[in-house]
Amino acid sequence: MGELHRLQPRNLPPAPTAISIPETWAALRAAARITHGTLGDIVDLLDAEAPPADVFAQIDILNTQLAACGRAVTFLKATGAPPSAA
């Protein structure tokens, strides 16, 4: 399957700039928690040998969540602000 850490970043749309750095860190934290839960749901579905349609539906949700996290990360990288700024 390959090593995930070698995957290239996606071409993400720019993050909105009307949000503050602390709000962005908080949003990233919340989005990462939600994404973590969705990933757990996918593992549960795989363990239960769920129908592919159910698994793929959860993967679509995960992809949407990862895109949101990615936009926040793009913004935070550009600012260079550490998590302690939150």
Confidence of residue 14 (pLDDT cuts 50, 70, 90): low
The pLDDT of residue 17 is above 80: no
Residue 20 has a pLDDT of 86
Q: pLDDT tens across 42-78, in order?
A: 999 999 999 999 999 999 999 999 988 888 888 888 8
Mean pLDDT across 21-40:
91
- Write down the residue that tokens 């129908």 correspond to: 51
Q: What pLDDT, on the 0 to 100 scale, is given for residue 4?
A: 45
Closest CA to 27 of 63, 65, 80: 65
Domain boundaries, the chain: 20-79
Q: Which long-range contacts (CB under 8 A, 24 or more apart) does 16-24 make?
A: 16/71, 16/75, 17/75, 19/75, 21/76, 21/79, 21/81, 21/85, 21/86, 22/85, 22/86, 24/72, 24/75, 24/76
Residue 10 has pLDDT above 90, yes or no: no
